[in-house]
Amino acid sequence: MMKRQLGQAMAEYVIVCAALISALFWGANVECDGGDSGSNKCIAKLLTVMHDNFDGYSSSISAVQKYGDYAASGTPVEGGGSPGTVGGPGSGGGSVDGSGSEGLTDAKQVTSNDGSVIYGDVLADGSVVDGDGNIVGFYSETDNTYTDNGGGSASAIATNVVKDEEGNVLHLRAVTSCAPSLPGIPTPVYSWGYVSKATGKVFNSLTKTELDIGGLCTQASFKVVKDGQEQGGRILNGQYFASVFAINVSTAPLNASGEVVYWEDLGLCSVMVTNWDGDLESGLDDQEEYDARVAILNDSDRNIGEIDPVDYFNQTQIYGVPTEANGCPSAYVLSAP
């Protein structure tokens, strides 16, 4: 989980202020008729426009820079364009702020360490609220603990999540071909986005505005962690894509930068850079070859990470995504001879 950097503030405010100028004059001018009542309406309109546009521009900038700390109610982002293909299954309660407005919101969700228990969304002051906005406890980032209103405490983690119009938690999905994948041929990926469980609309992964994916479909992807830290890319059908921020649908398939390997004896679903074992010495016997690959597994330059067990559990056990063989979305299986 990344912390907001102090250097962001001034640059963000300068950009946002520049972007607001036209909105202030064009958006508020219709309310300013010169009279006393018109002046009051004008001031109110200016304040409203400043607030709404700052939230929108600030949220977009923060998304590009990949900064985190969001309030539980999040920042609604209005959609636009044509409806997309309906995504995966799942259900949830109402939104924290109760707005039900069209668009997605960002929130920071507090769960147990394994993700099996969801306590609620954490506000800026550490208060944790349920789906109706009621305070149910407190989360401490200092020692990563959740304390409920009755005084009971438990170890917990806070994760940034995306919610749809009804408060359903969404997971990043790949925009792919609708044709069934063939053995040994990974499904092509053309973009990344979120599919609203409330409306079936698709939203891009960068600005979270509505995305027209035409005749394409979406497919679940999985997070990757390394030394307990979430990595930026996603796993899909045995491949790892490092870049998952996209605003449009690409005309050509996106390139993967890694592959997923299931180590049967180790019970490990790892992500290795593309062609990670391409320089193995020739003439090795089966055991020597396996030992050489295990040695490469411990090479931090070639080992990108492993599948995030919490994210995998949430998607498959809580939100209904089909379970992959061995709990690892890869046909590449290695085992000792």
pLDDT in tens, 177-213: 998 877 778 889 999 999 999 999 999 999 999 999 9
Closest of 166, 163, 164 to residue 109, by C-alpha: 163
When pLDDT is cut at 50, 70 and 90, the band that residue 85 belongs to is very low
SS (H, E, C) the chain: CCCCCCCHHHHHHHHHHHHHHHHHHHHHHHHCCCCHHHHHHHHHHHHHHHHHHHHHHHHHHHHHHCCCCCCCCCCCECCCCCCCCCCCCCCCCCCCCCCCCCCEEEEEEEEECCCCCEEEEECCCCEEECCCCCEEEEEECCCCEEEECCCCEEEEEEEEEEECCCCCEECCEEEECCCCCECCECCCEEEEEEECCCCCCEEECCCCCECCCCCCEEEECEEEEECCEEEEEEEECCEEECCCCCCCCCCCCCCCCEEEEEECCCCEEEEEECCCCCCCCCCCCHHHHHHHHHHHHCCCCCEEEEECHHHHHHHHHHCCCCCCHHHCCCCCEECCC
Give pLDDT, residue 103.
84
Give pLDDT, residue 138.
97
Which pTM was predicted? 0.67
When pLDDT is cut at 50, 70 and 90, the band that residue 11 belongs to is very low
When pLDDT is cut at 50, 70 and 90, the band that residue 40 belongs to is very low
Average pLDDT, the chain: 77
Give pLDDT, residue 25.
37
Helices 36-65, 8-28: crossing angle, 10 deg rounding: 140
Closest of 103, 109, 115 to residue 131, by C-alpha: 109
CB-based burial label for 313 (10 Å; 0-12, 13-18, 19+): middle
Buried b (16+ CB within 10 A) or exposed e, 89-106: ebebeebbbeeeebbbbb
Distance in angstroms (rounded) separating the CA atoms of residues 237 and 181: 9
Query: Which stretch of 77-86, 241-250, 266-275 has the lowest confidence by average pLDDT?
Result: 77-86
Query: Which stretch of 5-19, 117-131, 249-263, 270-284 has the lowest confidence by average pLDDT?
Result: 5-19
Distance in angstroms (rounded) separating the CA atoms of residues 96 and 236: 31
Amino acid letter at 240? Y
Per-residue pLDDT, averaged over 299-326, amounts to 91
Residue pair 70/3 in contact (Cβ under 8 Å)? The answer is no
Query: Which stretch of 64-68, 215-219, 307-311 has the lowest confidence by average pLDDT?
Result: 64-68
Give pLDDT, residue 36.
47
Query: Which stretch of 48-57, 69-78, 197-206, 324-333 has the lowest confidence by average pLDDT?
Result: 69-78
Give pLDDT, residue 43.
44
Per-residue pLDDT, averaged over 116-128, amounts to 95
Give pLDDT, residue 114.
86
Distance in angstroms (rounded) separating the CA atoms of residues 21 and 15: 11
Give pLDDT, residue 102.
64
Distance in angstroms (rounded) separating the CA atoms of residues 191 and 319: 22
Per-residue pLDDT, averaged over 157-162, amounts to 93
Closest of 186, 184, 187, 164 to residue 176, by C-alpha: 187
Percent of the chain whose pLDDT exceeds 70: 70
Whole-angstrom CA distances from 157 to 67, 116, 229, 247, 283 are 17, 11, 12, 29, 48
Amino acid letter at 87? G
Give the tokens for residue 224: 């990757």
Give pLDDT, residue 250.
96
Give pLDDT, residue 29.
39
Closest of 304, 225, 223 to residue 271, by C-alpha: 304
- Whose tokens are 């990670």? That residue is 276
Amino acid letter at 75? T
